[in-house]
Structure 1
Amino acid sequence: MPHIIVKMYPGRTMEQKKALTEAIREALIQSIGADPKTISLAIEEIPPSEWKEKVYDKEIVPQMENLWIKPGYTMD
């Protein structure tokens, strides 16, 4: 039962969000054999002014060792 939360800056169109969710859905089906009925996905838009506090410091930095793809930026 993969549940995916994509956190990103606001500004993408509904078409872009739909394309992103479909691409992730297809990747889950193809790569791990996920049943489409078991996939759930949310998009959370976080303003740039809140990214460091809400995402980088709370979710990225503490989990750096567990990230399969690490960010190519820092926020000191």
Structure 2
Amino acid sequence: MPHIAVTMHSADAEKAELADRLSAAVTRTLGYGSEAVSVLVEDVVPSQWMDQIYRPQIDAHPGRLVKRPGYGPLSEQNEGEHS
């Protein structure tokens, strides 16, 4: 059962639309029914992003990233590689 966790700062309306679109993409890509998909959206204040998200979740686990961010230290590593 796919569970998608998104960490971001956004308005509630944007969260609902994102959850709908992510759920639709998962059902199309993986062939699950929409009832099998759950989406969690966690808010983070932009000024806290680097300390709360980037360093502990992104920078600390570069080998687990399926897509590298286009900002911060990891954007400069392995340039030219498809992530």
SS of the residue 1:34 aligns to? coil
Q: Which runs of 5+ in 1 are unaligned?
A: none
Report the alpha carbon displacement of residue 39 of structure 1 after superposing the two structures with TM: 1.0
TM-score, reference length from structure 1: 0.84
1:7 maps onto 2:4 in alignment: no
Percent same amino acid at aligned positions?
Answer: 29
1:56 to 51, 54, 57: 54
Q: Which runs of 5+ in 2 are unaligned?
A: 74-83
TM-score, reference length from structure 2: 0.78
Listed as ranges, the matches of 1:1-76 within 5 Å are 1-9=1-9, 11-12=10-11, 14-74=12-72
Number of residue pairs matched? 73
Report the alpha carbon displacement of residue 34 of structure 1 after superposing the two structures with TM: 1.8
Higher radius of gyration, 1 or 2: 2
After superposition, give the CA deviation of every residue in 1:6-44 in whole Å (9 maximum; x if it has no partner). Answer: 1012x42x3221111110000000001122222111111
